[in-house]
């Protein structure tokens, strides 16, 4: 990677989105679906708003700092996408013999009858704006913060992971809940 005197990235802000920067590192994005705030003070980069653009700058970045700058650019783009369109993860309920029952209760997802088990498994839903719904054989996780939506879907899948004697033969024991689609909500 060549050395740069100054590395600059620009992110366009849509008309229906309001973006505020405080303390040169805390970015708040407000849009039609809600508000997302992130703190980028750990990166030690310069973030400023000029008109309808966010400018990310770092003077004399090394390789790691240049990569961090690109990552923060992607985070801000995801925040803008989240408050305008939202994110959606779809998980498929798969079982061979014992039918798995999935429901939501408050801020938890309840998984019952996995491998004929008697005690229900409980998974916490992350974030206030993240919603989980069950549609026939699908579990749909939606929200405006991609980290919270993705982590909730990952926790549901991980809770159903094979353990003990069953993990040795995933062909025989393939029951579980698996992520099969992720992206922007409604697409």
Give the residue from 84, 107, 127 where a domain finishes.
84
Q: 150 φ, ψ to 5°?
A: -65, -40
Report the residue count for the chain.
Answer: 187
Closest CA relative to residue 134, chosen from 116, 115, 112: 112
- Region 115-120 average pLDDT: 89
* 180 in the same domain as 91: yes
Q: 152 φ, ψ to 5°?
A: -65, -45
* 30 in the same domain as 71: yes
* 114 in the same domain as 50: no
The encoded tokens of residue 133 equal: 């719904």
The encoded tokens of residue 68 equal: 């961090």
Q: Which domain holds residue 131?
A: 87-184
The total number of structural domains that make up the chain: 2
* 155 in the same domain as 79: no
* 118 in the same domain as 56: no
CATH number, domain with residue 36:
3.90.930.12
* 175 in the same domain as 110: yes
The encoded tokens of residue 62 equal: 């090394």
- Collapsing DSSP to helix, strand or coil, 62 comes out as coil
Q: What pLDDT, in 10s, does the model give residues 78-102?
A: 999 999 999 999 999 999 888 999 9
Q: 48 φ, ψ to 5°?
A: -145, 160
* 116 in the same domain as 80: no
Give the residue from 49, 84, 119 where a domain finishes.
84
Q: What pLDDT, in 10s, does the model give residues 124-151?
A: 999 999 999 999 999 999 999 999 999 9
Closest CA relative to residue 78, chosen from 48, 131, 40, 124: 40
Rg (CA), the chain: 21
Residue 2 has pLDDT above 90, yes or no: no
């Amino acid at each position: 990677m060549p050395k740069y005197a100054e590395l600059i990235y620009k992110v366009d802000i849509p008309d229906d989105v309001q973006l505020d920067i405080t303390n040169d590192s805390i970015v708040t994005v407000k849009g039609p679906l809600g508000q997302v705030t992130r703190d980028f003070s750990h990166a030690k980069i310069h973030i400023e708003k000029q008109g309808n653009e966010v400018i990310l700058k770092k003077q004399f970045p090394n390789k790691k700092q240049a990569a961090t700058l690109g990552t923060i650019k992607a985070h801000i783009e995801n925040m803008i996408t989240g408050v305008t369109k939202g994110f959606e993860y779809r998980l498929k309920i798969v079982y061979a013999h014992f039918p798995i029952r999935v429901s939501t209760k408050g801020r938890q997802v309840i998984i019952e009858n996995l491998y004929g088990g008697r005690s229900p498994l409980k998974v916490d839903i992350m974030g206030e704006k993240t919603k989980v719904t069950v549609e026939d054989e699908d579990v749909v996780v939606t929200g405006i913060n991609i980290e919270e939506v993705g982590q909730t879907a990952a926790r549901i899948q991980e809770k159903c992971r094979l353990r003990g004697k069953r993990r040795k033969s995933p062909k025989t024991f393939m029951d579980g809940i698996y992520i099969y689609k992720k992206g922007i909500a409604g697409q």
